[in-house]
Amino acid sequence: MGKLGRKDFISIRDFSKEELYTILELCKKQKPLARNFSLEPTHPGRVLACIFHKPSLRTRISFEIAIRQLGGSSLYITDKEIGIGHREAPKDVGEVLSRYVDAIMIRTFDHRMVEELAANARVPVINGLTDLLHPCQIMGDIMTIVEHLGTIEGKKVVFVGDGNNVAHSLLYGCSKMGAHIVVATPEGYEPREEVVARAAEEGRKNGCTVTVTNDPQKAVKGADVVYTDVWTSMGQEKEKEERLKLFQPYQINPQLVKGAKEDYIFMHCLPAHRGEEVVNEVADSINSVIFDQAENRMHTQKALMALTM
């Protein structure tokens, strides 16, 4: 086990606020060094296996670069090679990979597969997105909020769109860090009840509120952060047409963000479907921090690997 209380990074829910700050502190030190090419390669020879069952730009590239900057290297593995879950059980894959590599990053559909892999791997397993959660994204986002707003504690973070994996991890991240979180979705697309309940419980401990609503205008009122994500996530492509119609009132456009604080920041995990969940006037506005989020993925994941490997 590294400097965090657990071997794996599967959900933000599993970590204390102090541990999340430990990751952020290291990022703060490493980011300027990495930008100056003066980061010390503290993990020479370490190998990260990156398993992808869904496409990726940010997650793949940021992990590959991050491990290189630490002095290690990575392997890109798709389902064609190992057939995890059908050619071989996640349990056995976890055991075998632990004999070869120093950490495993996995992006897949079923969250339980990641948990099973982690339970049977002796090396750290990092969740690079499942249908349920996207914790690495939210670590980069917390860093971005702190950089732009000075702190995340006490801020009002509003997620408008689908109650999906990003919304779930944002619920966990904000309630853990003491930010008031509001999630506004169409009826029937709310975040999972158990995630909301768990976040609300965490929020009570940390002095912040957790709200789920179907009213985007009301939600955005006084927001410090307005966050959205695609309306159709990877694996839901068949529902695209129906979602396009249903989600229209939840589009982030100049009219909707009028209700937010003047100096609010706009966030999106990307990829964005411009013209759908967000229009260019907002995505390219001075309030937008979307590319800082993308960069901070690399810094937070690097710190996370350094602390767990």
Q: Is 69 a catalytic residue?
A: no
Please provide residue 99's backbone torsions phi and psi, each rounded to the nearest 5 degrees. -80, -15
Q: First CA to last CA across the chain, in angstroms?
A: 8
257, 226 Cβ separation under 8 angstroms: yes
Q: Which is nearer to ligand CP, 208 or 282 (CB)?
A: 282
Of the candidates 134, 168, 243, 268, the residue annotated as catalytic is 134
Could you tell me which stretch among 50-58, 73-81, 216-224, 248-256 binds ligand CP (CB under 6 A)? 50-58
Do 243 and 280 meet the contact criterion of CB atoms below 8 Å apart? no
Name the minimum Å distance from CB 235 to ligand NVA: 7
> Which of 20, 84, 210, 230 is in the footprint of ligand NVA by CB under 6 A?
230
Q: Is 269 in the site for ligand NVA (CB under 6 A)?
A: yes
Centroid of chain to Cα 218? 25
59 near ligand CP, rule: CB under 6 A: yes
Pick the binder of ligand NVA from 39, 65, 234, 246 (CB under 6 A): 234
Spell 46-63 as b/e; 16+ CB within 10 A means b.
bbbbbbbbbebebbbebb
Q: Does residue 56 touch ligand CP according to CB under 6 A?
A: yes
| CB-nearer residue toward ligand NVA: 224 or 277 | 277
Beta bridge partners of 78: 52
| Residue 229 annotated to the active site | yes
CA distance 14 to 96: 25
- Choose which of 10, 105, 269, 304 interacts with ligand CP (CB under 6 A): 269
H/E stretch holding 75: strand 73-78
Among residues 43, 53, 102, 137, the one annotated as catalytic is 137
Q: 15-36 as b/e, with b when 16 or more CB fall inside 10 Å?
A: beeebbebbbebbeebbeebee
Chain residues 101-140 in contact with ligand NVA, contact rule CB under 6 A: 129
* Binding site residues, ligand CP, CB under 6 A: 56-59, 129, 137, 269-271
Catalytic residue numbers read 107, 134, 137, 229, 269, 297
